[in-house]
């Protein structure tokens, strides 16, 4: 049996982060930086995992120990295997290698992409047909088993790819038929902790439910309204929505001076709009610019200490390579 090679894309949140955790819609695009998983059977009842990007080298896990605690970098792959074995009542030793085209520091969703790739690779190896929705459901369960919370938008982007209008748990999942979005991505150099940021927003929701609900309703309007402007390629309007969304994110205190510096620099250089993307607290910001001003915006972000990450949006979802 040959190695099965599968890859899934990373993601960038365009509109609706945090609000999506509370049942509001978001818009997410898959990016062409991929996470790959190669799987083959192993003769012994052992899983051997190599994941160099998270410092896992020749980790050996006996099948009977699959449900025990594992090193941080191995958790998502091993939980995905465990959930797959339980669901389909199979059990076999495996050799698994992972490879990433992007750093887990960027907030591109490496955990979700590796989980989706693992589930898809197992379905091919064990010859079990799974629909995209089934891959999503089992991957989302895996992410929740480990993280305890999250809307699953990153799992949806890794599974379906493209640009999605998404509601938590896959309740609504609309694929937007649009072309590449002219995004500029700036990395702050700071790793954000999503769970800490989600908890801080949760506390604000408990303390001031009316204020936060109003912000989430406004974010919902942006996600809903923006759809038609994506179709029209009206980047000016999309940029305006990005600025509006960023204002709301400031009000829930998830932006930081570093993010603001890069956002301000891009607006000053002529971007139609800019905002943080994801949980906030660090990671990446995105700006929208076209043709002649892209270079200027990138230079401006770099002059403020940001690192430009070249991405294409609307990347293909999980696939066999």
**Which residues are tagged catalytic?**
154
Binding residues for ligand MEV, total number by CB under 6 A = 12
Give the nearer residue to ligand MEV in terms of CB position, either 199 or 295. Answer: 199
- Stretch 75-104: interaction string toward ligand MEV, x if CB under 6 A: ------------------------------
Question: Is the C-alpha dihedral spanning 24, 30, 35, 39 positive or negative?
Answer: positive
Binding segment for ligand MEV among 10-18, 113-121, 171-179, 224-232 (CB under 6 A)? 10-18
Binding segment for ligand MEV among 14-22, 55-63, 67-75, 157-165 (CB under 6 A)? 14-22
Give the nearer residue to ligand MEV in terms of CB position, either 106 or 235. Answer: 106
Interaction between residue 153 and ligand MEV (CB under 6 A): yes
CB of 15 to ligand MEV, least distance (A): 11
d(CA 139, CA 255): 29
Among 20, 61, 223, 267, binds ligand MEV (CB under 6 A): 20
Q: Name residues whose C-beta falls within 8 Å of residue 166's C-beta, 6 or more positions apart in sequence.
A: 20, 25, 26, 27, 28, 151, 152, 153, 156, 172, 173, 174
Binding segment for ligand MEV among 46-54, 92-100, 121-129, 150-158 (CB under 6 A)? 150-158
Give the nearer residue to ligand MEV in terms of CB position, either 21 or 74. Answer: 21
Interaction between residue 37 and ligand MEV (CB under 6 A): no
Extended strands (E) in 192-313 = 273-277, 284-288, 307-309
Interaction between residue 194 and ligand MEV (CB under 6 A): yes
Count CB-CB contacts under 10 A for residue 291.
Answer: 7
* Gyration radius of the chain's alpha carbons: 20
CB of 113 to ligand MEV, least distance (A): 13
d(CA 185, CA 111): 20
Interaction between residue 18 and ligand MEV (CB under 6 A): yes
CB of 230 to ligand MEV, least distance (A): 20
Interaction between residue 170 and ligand MEV (CB under 6 A): no
In the DSSP assignment, the letter for residue 2 is P
Count CB-CB contacts under 10 A for residue 298.
Answer: 21
Which of 107, 33, 149, 112 has its CA nearest to residue 256?
107
Count CB-CB contacts under 10 A for residue 155.
Answer: 32
Interaction between residue 150 and ligand MEV (CB under 6 A): yes
Interaction between residue 163 and ligand MEV (CB under 6 A): no
Residue 115 three-state SS: helix
Q: What string of DSSP letters covers 139-194?
A: HHHHHHHHHS----HHHHHHHHBSEEEEEGGGTEEEEE------EEEEE-S----H
Using CB under 6 A as the criterion, which residues of the chain lie in contact with ligand MEV when the complex forms?
Answer: 13, 17-18, 20-21, 150-151, 153, 194, 198, 278-279
């Amino acid at each position: 049996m040959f190695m099965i090679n599968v890859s899934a894309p990373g993601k960038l949140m365009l509109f609706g982060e945090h609000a999506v955790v509370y049942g509001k819609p978001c818009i997410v695009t898959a990016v062409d930086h991929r996470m790959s998983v190669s799987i083959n059977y192993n003769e012994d009842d052992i899983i051997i995992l190599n994941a160099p990007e998270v410092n896992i080298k020749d980790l050996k896990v006996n099948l009977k120990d699959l449900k025990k605690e594992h090193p941080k970098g191995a958790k998502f792959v091993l939980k995905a295997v465990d959930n797959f074995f339980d669901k389909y009542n199979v059990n076999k030793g495996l050799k698994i290698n992972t490879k990433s085209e992007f750093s887990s520091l960027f907030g591109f969703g490496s955990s979700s992409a590796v989980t989706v790739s693992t589930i898809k690779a197992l379905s091919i190896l064990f010859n079990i047909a799974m629909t995209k929705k089934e891959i999503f459901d089992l991957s989302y369960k895996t992410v929740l088993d480990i993280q305890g919370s999250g809307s699953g938008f990153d799992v949806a982007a890794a599974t379906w790819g493209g640009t999605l209008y998404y509601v938590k748990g896959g309740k609504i999942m609309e694929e937007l038929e649009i072309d590449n979005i002219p995004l500029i991505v700036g990395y702050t150099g700071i790793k954000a902790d999503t769970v800490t940021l989600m908890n801080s927003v949760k506390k604000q929701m408990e303390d001031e439910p009316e204020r936060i609900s109003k912000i989430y309703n406004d974010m919902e309007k942006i996600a809903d309204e923006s759809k038609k402007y994506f179709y029209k390629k009206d980047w000016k309007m999309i940029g305006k929505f990005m600025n509006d969304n960023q204002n709301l994110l400031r009000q829930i205190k998830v932006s930081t001076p570093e993010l603001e510096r890069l956002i301000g620099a891009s607006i000053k250089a002529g971007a139609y709009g800019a905002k943080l993307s994801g949980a906030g607290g660090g990671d990446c910001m995105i700006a929208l610019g076209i043709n002649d001003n892209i270079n200027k915006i990138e230079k401006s972000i770099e002059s403020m200490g940001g690192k430009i990450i070249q991405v294409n949006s609307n990347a293909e979802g999980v696939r066999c390579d």
